[in-house]
Amino acid sequence: MKNYRIQVIAGDGIGVEVTEAAMRVVERAATLHGFEVSFVEQPWGSHYFFQNGRMMPANALEELQGSDAILLGAVGHPDIPDHVTLHGLLLPIRRSFDLFANVRPAVLFDGVESPLRGYPPHEIDMVVVRENTEGEYAPVGGFVHHHHPQEVAVQAAVFTRAGCERVIRYAFDLARRRNKKNRVTSITKSNAQAYSMVLWDHVFQAVAAEYPDIETESLLVDAGAMNFVRRPHSFDVVVASNLFGDILSDLSAIVTGSIGLAASANIDPTRRFPSLFEPVHGSAPDIAGRGIANPLAAIVSAGMMLDHLGETHAAFAVDNAIKRVLAAQEVRTPDLGGANSTNDMRDAVLSHL
- Based on the shown chain and the rule CB under 6 A, indicate whether residue 246 belongs to the binding site for ligand GGG: yes
CB of 151 to ligand GGG, least distance (A): 25
# binding residues, ligand GGG (CB under 6 A): 11
Choice between 135 and 317, CB closer to ligand GGG? 135
* Pairwise CA distance, residues 174 & 155, whole Å: 32
From candidates 45, 76, 232, 260, binder to ligand GGG by CB under 6 A: 76
Choice between 73 and 257, CB closer to ligand GGG? 73
CB of 281 to ligand GGG, least distance (A): 6
Which among 73-81, 156-164, 178-186, 210-218 is the span making contact with ligand GGG, rule CB under 6 A?
73-81
CB of 72 to ligand GGG, least distance (A): 6
- Based on the shown chain and the rule CB under 6 A, indicate whether residue 80 belongs to the binding site for ligand GGG: no
From candidates 10, 16, 37, 74, binder to ligand GGG by CB under 6 A: 74
Beta strands in the chain (DSSP E): 3-11, 36-41, 69-74, 101-107, 125-131, 141-144, 152-155, 183-188, 215-220, 237-240, 263-267, 275-279
* Pairwise CA distance, residues 223 & 275, whole Å: 32
Could you tell me the sign of the dihedral formed by the alpha carbons of 164, 165, 166, 169, in that order? positive
Binding mask 194-233 for ligand GGG (x = CB under 6 A): ----------------------------------------
- Based on the shown chain and the rule CB under 6 A, indicate whether residue 245 belongs to the binding site for ligand GGG: no
Tell me how far CA of residue 159 lies from CA of 58, 195, 242, 245, in angstroms. Answer: 28, 9, 10, 14
- Based on the shown chain and the rule CB under 6 A, indicate whether residue 163 belongs to the binding site for ligand GGG: no
3-class secondary structure, 152: strand
Burial grade of 317 (CB within 10 A; 0-12, 13-18, 19 or more) = buried
Choice between 74 and 171, CB closer to ligand GGG? 74
* Pairwise CA distance, residues 83 & 143, whole Å: 15
CB of 155 to ligand GGG, least distance (A): 15
Residue of 66, 25, 87 whose CA lies nearest to 263: 25
Which among 70-78, 104-112, 213-221, 225-233 is the span making contact with ligand GGG, rule CB under 6 A?
70-78
From candidates 6, 14, 21, 75, binder to ligand GGG by CB under 6 A: 75
CB of 73 to ligand GGG, least distance (A): 7
Binding mask 83-122 for ligand GGG (x = CB under 6 A): ---x------------------------------------
Choice between 105 and 279, CB closer to ligand GGG? 279
- Cβ contact 185:218 at 8 Å: yes
Residue of 122, 104, 103 whose CA lies nearest to 232: 122
Report the chain's C-alpha Rg in angstroms: 20
Site for ligand GGG in 253-312 (CB under 6 A): 278-279, 281-283
Count CB-CB contacts under 10 A for residue 81: 10
CB of 241 to ligand GGG, least distance (A): 12
Choice between 96 and 216, CB closer to ligand GGG? 96
Choice between 75 and 317, CB closer to ligand GGG? 75
Choice between 46 and 214, CB closer to ligand GGG? 46
Q: For 80, phi and psi rounded to 5 degrees?
A: -125, 130
Residue of 67, 127, 61, 112 whose CA lies nearest to 91: 61
* Pairwise CA distance, residues 130 & 8, whole Å: 23
Q: Between β-strands 3-11 and 69-74, what pairing exists: parallel, antiparallel or unpaired?
A: parallel
* Pairwise CA distance, residues 134 & 184, whole Å: 21
Chain residues that interact with ligand GGG, rule: CB under 6 A: 72, 74-76, 86, 246, 278-279, 281-283
